[in-house]
Amino acid sequence: TQKNVAILVGSLRKDSLNRKMANALIGLAPPSLRMEIVEIGNLPLYNQDFDPDPPQPVRDFKQRVQAADAVLFITPEYNRSVPGVLKNAIDTASRPYGQSAWDGKPGAVVSVSPSKIGGFGANHHLRQSMVFLNVPMLQQPEAYIGGANELFDDKGAIKNDSTRELMQKFLQTFAQWIDQNGKK
Ligand code: FNR
C-alpha cells in the first residue's frame, strides 16, 4: 500500500537548494511513496505556555505530522547544526510531553549544502534529537549532498547522474525502511 511521507524543509528561502531537492525527490519517488512538503515557516516560536491550548498553526502542523506514515527531513546546515526553524518545528510537534507526533514514525534525513562537507553536522545533530523522539532514522544510504549550487538545472532536475541514482536508491531503501519500521 502507498505510504504518506511528510517532507520538512529546513530552509525558508525562496530559492532554497533544499526546497529544490525536496521537489526533485517528489519527482523521483517510487510509486509506493506519496510525498508532500509540510510547511514550517508559519509556526510561532515554540513556547511551553502553548501546551494547554496551542495556536491553530501548531494544531494544524501537528495533525499533518501525525497523519503521515513517515517523515523526511531535507535540511541545510547552519553553523554546523540544524537551522532554528527546523528545530522549532521538531520541538513544536514533540509537545505536550507524552503527546509527541513523532513517536514511532520512521524517518530519514538528506542534508544539502553548497559546501563539500554536505551538511554532515546538521545531518547528525538532527539524528541526535530523533533518537530521543523515538524516530527510527534510515542509516544507509547516507545523503550528505555537497556542491549543491551546481546540482540543479533550470527546471530543478538533478543534473548529476550519480547523485540522481543515489537519491533514487535512497528513496527505494526508505520505502522498505517504512514498511519494516512503521506502524502496520
Ligand atoms: C550557512 N551555510 C552553511 N553551510 C554549511 O555547509 N555549513 C554551515 O555550518 C553553514 N552555516 C550557515 C549559517 C547560516 C546562518 C547561513 C545563512 C548559511 C551556508 C548554507 O549551506 C547555504 O546558505 C545554503 O544554500 C542554505 O540552504 P538553502 O537555503 O539553499 O536551502
The grid coordinates listed for 138 are 534510515
Q: What is the mean pLDDT of the chain?
A: 97
User: Is 3-181 a CATH 3.40.50.360 domain?
Assistant: yes
pLDDT tens, residue by residue, 141-181: 999 999 999 999 999 999 999 999 999 999 999 999 999 99
C-alpha 155 chain-centroid distance: 22
Q: Which atom of ligand 1 is nearest to the CA of 9?
A: 31
Domain ranges of the chain: 3-181
Assessment of whether the complete model's pTM goes beyond 0.90: yes
Q: Which residues line ligand 1 (CB under 6 A)?
A: 11, 13, 16-18, 76-80, 113-115, 117, 119
Q: State how far the alpha carbon of 35 is from the alpha carbons of 22, 70, 96, 112, in Å.
A: 9, 9, 27, 18
- Return the biggest CA–CA distance within the chain: 50
Residues 6+ apart with CB under 8 A from 18: 9, 10, 11, 74, 75, 76, 112
**Nearest CA owner, ligand 1 atom 24:** 113
